């Protein structure tokens, strides 16, 4: 099997290793875990600063069973019908443990009507359900919904803390700096700051034979690959396709197929041997056809449709 993505491999599942925004955040979160209870939360701020990771850490450290944890990505499921069907049907049954958690990632994509419906649902199920919302743009959250949540604002990481964290990861992975040049690592951090996810992706992409090489001009492509991995892991195949066709140049298509091959087993739906095998055959076929077709975008779109079909048909 290909190597695991560092952003997933080193994502903390408990507060050990989590990079806190500030002491106030740390004290508040530790208090909730001690009390084994949380309010409804709105985690807002820059991408790659630990919002989604914190939501999953809270689920783990509050001992919320998998059956009591509902995850929806609002960039893909953002209508009022989603709120009234998927969330309400989950919320109205009794929890296995003390309470359920509904985790709405990228809640700033919810329509105004969906946000209004969610506001009512937060009140209706306040005894048994807690809601965790994340967003990059809190101004898109209606005041009536925002007022029902405790907001934690995620600002830029301390760059020194980012560097400390990645140094530990590089040591654990047995990676050395080319010519022992510490400035190389600082250059990577400057380019990715404040996005920790982008930093880890860029570092991993530039390690060759256990040595971290100097940065080269692929920042835009690395960002696209970060987005591709994130969206596919959430099941957002159409959004991932759109991102690729808008941002990838004619010379980059082969790299996309090779990237999919290397990380297919980490994508939801392909984490079992049968679907993984089917996916590899589809990737090989698309890569072969890439050299023959007149329009690589159409070939890639057909490839994505076939991959989605594997997941939907099991």
Name residues whose C-beta falls within 8 Å of residue 118's C-beta, 6 or more positions apart in sequence.
83, 87, 104, 110, 131, 145
Quick check: helix, strand or coil at residue 244?
helix
Q: Is residue 67 located within the same domain as residue 149?
A: yes
pLDDT tens track, the chain, 314 positions? 446 778 888 888 899 888 887 888 899 999 999 999 999 999 998 777 889 999 999 999 999 999 999 999 887 777 888 888 899 999 999 999 999 999 999 899 899 999 999 999 999 999 999 999 999 889 899 999 999 999 999 887 778 888 888 999 999 999 998 877 788 888 888 877 878 888 888 888 788 888 888 765 444 566 676 667 667 767 777 778 877 877 776 667 887 888 788 778 777 788 788 999 999 999 999 988 887 887 888 988 899 889 888 888 86
The count of structural domains within the chain is 3
Query: Which of 239, 241, 198, 196 lies closest to 222 in space, CA to CA?
Result: 198
Quick check: helix, strand or coil at residue 76?
coil
Which residues, in sequence order, are bridge partners of residue 154?
45
Query: Which of 98, 99, 84 lies closest to 129 in space, CA to CA?
Result: 99
Q: Which domain holds residue 265?
A: 221-313
Q: Is residue 212 located within the same domain as residue 305?
A: no
Looking at 114, 133, 154, which one is the last position of a domain? 154
Q: Is residue 174 located within the same domain as residue 190?
A: yes
Phi first, then psi, for residue 39 (nearest 5°) are -80, 180
Output the six-digit token pair for 134.
Answer: 């994340």
Output the six-digit token pair for 26.
Answer: 């740390």
Cβ(210)–Cβ(175) below 8 Å: yes
Query: Which of 279, 238, 273 lies closest to 261 in space, CA to CA?
Result: 279
């Amino acid at each position: 099997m290909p190597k695991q993505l560092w952003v997933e491999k080193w994502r903390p599942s408990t507060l050990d290793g989590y990079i806190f925004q500030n002491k106030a955040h740390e004290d508040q979160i530790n208090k909730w875990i001690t009390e084994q209870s949380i309010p409804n939360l709105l985690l807002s701020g820059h991408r790659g600063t630990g919002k989604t990771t914190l939501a999953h850490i809270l689920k783990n450290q509050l001992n919320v069973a998998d059956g009591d944890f509902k995850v929806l990505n609002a960039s893909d499921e953002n209508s009022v019908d989603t709120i009234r069907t998927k969330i309400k049907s989950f919320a109205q049954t009794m929890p296995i443990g003390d309470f359920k958690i509904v985790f709405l990632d990228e809640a700033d994509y919810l329509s105004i009507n969906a946000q209004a419906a969610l506001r009512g649902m937060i009140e209706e199920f306040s005894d048994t359900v807690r809601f965790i919302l994340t967003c990059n743009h809190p101004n898109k959250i209606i005041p009536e919904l925002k007022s029902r949540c405790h907001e934690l604002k995620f600002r830029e990481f301390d760059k020194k803390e980012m560097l400390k964290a990645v140094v530990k990861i590089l040591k654990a992975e047995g990676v050395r700096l080319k010519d022992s040049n510490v400035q190389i690592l600082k250059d990577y951090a400057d380019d990715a700051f404040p996005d920790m996810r982008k930093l880890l992706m860029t570092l991993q992409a530039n390690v060759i034979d256990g040595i971290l090489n100097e940065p080269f001009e692929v920042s835009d492509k690395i960002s696209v690959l970060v987005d591709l991995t994130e969206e596919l892991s959430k099941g957002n195949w159409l959004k991932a396709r759109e991102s690729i066709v808008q941002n990838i140049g004619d010379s980059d298509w082969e790299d996309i197929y090779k990237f999919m091959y290397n990380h297919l087993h980490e994508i939801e739906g392909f984490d079992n041997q049968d679907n993984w095998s089917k996916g590899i055959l589809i990737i090989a076929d698309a890569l072969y056809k890439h050299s023959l077709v007149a329009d690589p975008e159409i070939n890639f779109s057909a490839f994505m449709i076939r991959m989605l079909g594997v997941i939907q048909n099991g």
